[in-house]
Amino acid sequence: MEIVNSKAKLQALLSGAKGNKSIGLTPTMGNLHSGHLKLVDAAVKECDIVVCSIFVNPTQFGPDEDLANYPRTLEADKEKLYSADCDILFLPTIAEMYGDNLNSETTIHVPGVSANYCGKSRPGHFDGVATIVCKLLNIVQPTISYFGLKDYQQFLVINKLVDDLRLPVKVVGIETEREPSGLAKSSRNNYLDSNQLDLAAGLYATLQWAAGQLQIPLCNFIAIEKSATNRLNQLGLTVDYFSICHSNSLLPASQKDCELTILAAVFLGKTRLIDNIHVRL
Catalytic sites, residue numbers: 36
Residue whose C-alpha is closest to residue 172's, from 43, 60, 17? 43
Helical H segments across 180-241, by residue range: 194-214, 221-235
d(CA 116, CA 182): 25
Q: Pick from 261, 262, 188: which is nearest to 225 by CA?
A: 262
Three-state DSSP state, 82: helix
Q: Read out DSSP for 226-237? A: HHHHHHHHHHTP
Q: What torsion do the CA atoms of 217, 223, 225, 227 make, to the nearest 10 degrees?
A: -110
> Residue 23 and residue 109: Cα distance in Å, rounded?
26
Calpha distance 160→174 (Å, rounded) = 17
Neighbours of 206 (CB within 10 A): 25
Measured CA to CA, the distance from residue 41 to residue 172 in angstroms comes to 13
Q: Cα–Cα distance between 155 and 147 in angstroms, integer?
A: 7
**3-class secondary-structure state, position 7:** helix
